[in-house]
Structure 1
Amino acid sequence: MYRNSGDRPGVVLAAAAVAQFVVALDMAVVNVALPAIRTALDFAPLDLSWVVHVYALTFGGFLLLGGRGCDLYGRRRMFVLGLAVFAVCSLAGGLAQEPWQLIAARAGQGVGAAAAAPAALAMLTTTFTEGPRRVRALGVWSAVNAAGGALGVLAGGVLTEYAGWRWTMLINLPIVAIALALVLAGVPAGEPSERRERLDALGAVLATAGVGLLVLGVVRTDTLGWGSPVTWATLAAAAVLLAAFVLAEAKVAAPLLRLGLLRSRWVAGANVLVFLAAAGQFAAFYFVSLYMQQVLGMGAAATGVAFLPFSLGLVAGTVVATRVTASRTPRTALVPGALLAAAGLAWFALISPGGSFLADVLGPSLVTSVGAGLVLAPVAAAATTGVAPREAGMASGLMNSSRQLGGSIGLAALATVAAHRTGTSADPAALNDGYAWGLAVAAAVFVLAAVVAIGVLPRRRAFTPAKQSPQSPLAENQLEGTPS
């Protein structure tokens, strides 16, 4: 059964999957092109990292606002608006002639993605009812999301080497055009909130500023370090703003994030788990890519091709997870998936300076990617279990925020751990030692994710219908494991 008979479920799924693919692709596709971008636009060395950081900053900062906008103004409307902004900024980035133009374009891409990504997930959770149909839909969405991130490295290397760095931006245009055509054909307009609630302006400002400063403080540790007074001041300001956000949300009638949503063990547990999984996965991409280029001496295009087995493993893992969880709880796949990913990363930690792709990369890539794939699809289902349709955007924005924050904070923290082991040496043996240590810590992060899945997520998916509170326009779902 489908919730909205006006939707064409297959087209909705295709549109959401294509949109998520391009958002995930853009997280990685530019990384390999950074040396070419620096030469072409004459970037200062310390400014170049902002091509990556500013996308993470605006994407992470605006996700909660984008998710709530879906509930208030309509998922289709936010989806189209977000993708349109993303496309215009991709074109501007591809045509940039000055460093500031490219950085501004990347910031705009992040804002557009922050509107489109929660809308894509919310469209799926409101089109497909809980159960096997939703699990299968989220399995496809998760597989495409994973493939976008992994193939971004391949696309970035091939495009930079054979077509030029500008195509790492321009490649987004035809993909966005396909997503827009699909959603305009398959999703009816006019589904904003019937209650005409006002946007929580104070919450939007506090959340966007707080999350933005948190991401800013973390990503700048690559140049300032964790002990810098600027880093500590930025993180302290973020903590104050986020604490104020929590206090404000407890008092407003129609909050940006209803705190009662986090009383669900499914929602809370899934968001912690996706934070940890993203930290481990982003770090694995980072360290393995650097190992292949800086230790094994592989070129950008060859490194991209070497990630193909990782992409295939992610897809295979999500297919298996979808079948396993179609009739069982998401916990069934999350626990073994996190442990398998941990085992793969522990195997990765055995890399050596005199190694090779076949000996040191292929086997661990397959094990890690299948394990990560087993996590990706069920965690999306868990994060939306029992969530009312009118709060689908809120839950989707929260999960995407957790994923983005996990990736940003985890990567920065693990990169620092690796750098401490490497020291100031640029010798391949020293670099190998640092990357291996970073991968070992990433394995421990996935073990912690498995512990969260075991200890927090309920064993059963059952929940009782929500009861409408006369004091609040929003019903609060009483899920299993949720205090009443």
Structure 2
Amino acid sequence: MIVLDITIVNIALPHVQESLHFSTTSLSWVVNAYTLTFGGLLLLGGRVGDILGRRRVFVFGVLLFGLASLLGGLAQNSGQLLAARALQGVGGAIASPTSLALITTTFSEGPARNRAFGVFAAVSAGGGAIGLLLGGILVEWLDWRWVFFVNVPIALLIAFAATRVIRESERHPGHFDVLGALTSTLGVAALVYGFIRAAQHGWRDGLTITSFVLAVVLLVLFILVERRSKQPITPLHMFADRNRAGTYGIMLALAAAMFGMFFFLTLFVQNVLGFSPLRAGLAFLPVSAVIAVGAGITSQLLPKYGPKPFMVIGALLAAGGLSWLTLTDIDSTYLGSVLGPMLVFSLGMGMQFVSLTLMALSNVPDRESGAASGLLNVTQQVGGSLGLSILVTIFGTASRNEADRQVPVFLAEARPAERLFFERTGQLPDPWGDQVLTSGVSAAFIAAAVFALIAAVIALFAIQVRASDRERLQGNHTPAAPG
């Protein structure tokens, strides 16, 4: 349901933009309002599950997600929609880490857990595929609001089934690090806002500078809080393990690339290629299918080869697909310029998902499995938010520069109706507008490819697969000590 919500909303973005009057740069907040609260509160959500019992916390998170989806579908302006998206993030932050932790504590390390995480990755990819297709159907046949309404019955069914088929986990004593959650969430939000503000108003804007300063202050305060807390929301000792720290870095960089790819490709195929929402949903279906295939193959080969080769090769494939996408222009076609690089990127990401999850949760005591899974999800969501905000900034700068070059050409060639449109809206009509959008998208893909290359470098030089790691993947290991 959570993965479905990300993809289903992506398909609806152009229609949300038109209905609630978002600019292209501010439209990214429809994604970021969700991912920021999701990423910022994931660790707290995992901790809540450890302390209060994972099943009951999971059910509460799912129901809160459903309520927020209902409010999002009823939104009458941009502020209401963004508030609902933020509340969805809170529900997702409560439900998501508890689901991974439930898998971790249900299946012991080795072949059983390998298969479980392979199924989990495949189901996630399936949720993405359903979201893309269902989003296109709902937007084209009904209205964009139904991409939110559809979560309500799903949430109710999940909550009903969970109480009957999932056993409650053991409760561990502890307290909630609320100050840590608030400083981390607000700090990252200020950082993301600074990048998006810079895309619209420039780097010298007073509010842009204030946002970055506030972000630094809050994030430094967050680290100080975590160092002094007896039960921190972010167990800093998790980063003491070289492989785990490298895994978090890889996820951060790849999420930045992945969120950007989906955001800008959605705009490109609908606004430049002219795809309907349904056709756009169908166009993205191969992505989820190839991710599922890559995850399935990787889960079978991991015990033999270890995760490092799949981390390196997967990141390089992702970088290659994104580099290929930089060649798109207004004359591009789906089959000639979009499908191929999407498949290459997707295969690489499929390799990564299972490898990163197993490495991040390997040799973690049961009492910290919620925190460990939450931290992996945090790096994905925070990386996605930060990455998307940086890519939106690059997109905005490149688009403005291209518009400055196109305006003289447009004024020399424009018909009276086109000139009147430009005077009323301040925007260039097509094909000049398509050229501006495509130029910005290509620049964003260059930066996304750099993010993926950074992930490959981290995987190559930071990850060291020890003999004990391979034994755990094969099920020949001594269980982690409780402490």
Shorter-chain TM range is 0.7 to 0.9
Return closer, same or farther for 1:221/1:315 CA change in 2, 3 Å cut-off.
farther
Q: 402, 407, 416: which is aligned to 2:379?
A: 402
Say whether 1:358 aligns with 2:364: no
Partner of 1:82: 61
Query: In structure 2, how many angstroms separate the alpha carbons of the residues matched to 1:467 and 1:323?
Result: 23
Paired position in structure 1 for 2:392: 415
Alignment-mate amino acid for residue 65 of structure 2: F
1:136 is aligned to 115
Contact 2:65-2:92 at 8 Å conserved across structures: yes
CA distance in 2, matches of 1:327, 1:80: 37
| Cα distance in 2 for residues equivalent to 1:285 and 1:133 | 32
After TM superposition, give the deviation of residue 106 of structure 1 in Å.
2.1
Q: Deviations over 1:446-475 (max 9, x none)?
A: 12211111111112262697998xxxxx83
Which residue number in structure 2 is paired with residue 30 of structure 1? 9
Q: Which moved more, 1:150-159 or 1:376-385?
A: 150-159
- Judge conservation of contact 1:266–1:385 (CA < 8 Å) in 2: no
Quote how far apart the aligned CAs of 1:39 are: 5.8
For 2:455, the equivalent position in structure 1 comes to: 449
* Percent of pairs with identical residues: 40
- Does residue 393 (structure 1) correspond to residue 370 (structure 2)? The answer is yes
Per the alignment, in what secondary structure is the counterpart of residue 143 of structure 2? coil
Q: 2:159 aligns with which of 173, 177, 180?
A: 180
Q: Check if 1:105 corresponds to 2:84.
A: yes
Matches of 1:347 and 1:324, distance apart in 2: 28
More helix by share: 2
**1:238 matched to 2:212:** no
Alignment-derived partner of residue 155 in structure 1: 134
Post-superposition CA distance 1:155-185 (Å, at most 9, x none):
3232111021221111112322343234222
Q: What SS does structure 2 have at the residue aligned with 1:462?
A: helix
Q: Deviations over 1:71-118 (max 9, x none)?
A: 222221221111011111212322344554433322221110111111
1:316-395 aligned at under 5 Å gives the runs 316-395=293-372
Question: Could you tell me how far 1:240 is from its partner in structure 2?
Answer: 1.8
SS at match of 1:350: coil
Deviation of 1:399 after TM superposition, in Å, equals 1.0
1:222 is displaced (CA, Å) by: 4.5
- Specify the SS of the correspondent of 2:274: coil
**TM superposition shift of 1:226:** 4.4
**Paired residue type of 1:72:** I
2:435 corresponding residue in structure 1:
429
CA contact (8 A) 1:293 1:303 kept: yes
| Alignment correspondent of 1:14 | none
Amino acid at match of 1:277: L
AA aligned to 1:61 is G
* Equivalent position of 1:439 in the other structure: 445
Residue 433 of structure 1 deviates from its aligned partner by 3.2
The equivalent of 2:415 in structure 1 is none
- Superposed CA deviations along residues 103-137 of structure 1, whole A, max 9, x for unmatched, are 33222211101111111111111112222222221
For residues 439 and 48 of structure 1, the distance between their equivalents in structure 2, rounded to whole angstroms, comes to 18
Counterpart-to-counterpart distance in 1, 2:68 and 2:388 = 26
Q: Structure 1 residues 101, 421: CA separation in 2 closer, same or farther (over 3 Å shift)?
A: closer
Q: Residue type of the partner of 1:445?
A: F
Taking structure 1 as reference, are residues 344 and 319 closer, same or farther at Cα in structure 2, changes over 3 Å only?
Answer: same
Q: Per-residue deviation at 1:382?
A: 1.2
Equivalent AA in structure 2 for residue 309 of structure 1: P
Q: 2:464 aligns with which of 423, 443, 458?
A: 458
Structure 2 residue 44 is the aligned partner of structure 1 residue 53:
no
Letter in 2 for 1:172: N
Look up the match of 1:271: 248
2:289 corresponds to: 312
Describe the SS at the equivalent of 1:307: helix
Residue in structure 1 matched with residue 422 of structure 2 by the alignment: none
Q: What is the distance in 1 between the residues matched to 2:269 and 2:360?
A: 35
One-letter amino acid of the structure 1 residue matched with residue 5 of structure 2? D
Within-5 A mapping of 1:226-265: 226-265=203-242
Structure 1 unpaired stretches of 5+: 1-21, 469-473, 476-484
Larger-Rg structure: 2
Whole-angstrom CA distance in 2 between matches of 1:111 and 1:61: 9
Q: Distance in 2 between matches of 1:60 and 1:110?
A: 8
What is the distance in 2 between the residues matched to 1:402 and 1:150? 23
The match for 2:409 is none
Indicate if the aligned counterparts of 2:196 and 2:390 stay in contact, CA closer than 8 A: no
Which is further off, 300-309 or 196-205? 196-205
Q: Specify the SS of the correspondent of 2:243.
A: helix
State the Cα distance separating 1:300 from its structure 2 match: 2.3
Amino acid in structure 2 at the alignment position of 1:352: D
Paired amino acid for 2:363: G
Change (3 A) 1:285 1:37: closer
Match of 1:121 in 2: 100
- Structure 1 residue 223 corresponds to structure 2 residue 213: no
SS of structure 2 residue aligned to 1:55: helix
Q: TM-score, normalised by structure 2?
A: 0.85
CA contact (8 A) 2:293 2:350 kept: yes
| More displaced 10-residue stretch of structure 1: 422-431 or 367-376 | 422-431
Cα distance between partner residues in 2 of 1:441 and 1:429: 19
- 1:283 deviates by 1.4
Moved more, 285-294 or 258-267: 285-294
How far off is 1:265 after superposition? 1.5
Q: Any unmatched runs of 5+ in structure 2?
A: 404-427, 470-476
User: Where does residue 149 of structure 2 map in the other structure?
Assistant: 170
Residue 397 of structure 1 aligns with an amino acid whose one-letter code is: G
**TM-score normalized by the length of structure 1:** 0.84
CA deviation string 1:388-429 (max 9, x = no partner): 110111111111111011111112212322333332525233
- Pairs aligned (count): 446
Given residue 327 of structure 2, which amino acid in structure 1 is its aligned partner? L
In 1, distance between residues paired with 2:64 and 2:116?
26
Cα 1:362/1:202, change in 2 over 3 Å = closer
Distance 2:165 2:159 in 1: 10
Determine whether 1:73 maps to 2:52: yes
Distance 1:429 1:205, change over 3 A: closer
- Distance in 2 (alpha carbons) for counterparts of 1:48 and 1:413: 14
Q: Contact (CA 8 Å) 1:65, 1:208: kept in 2 or not?
A: no
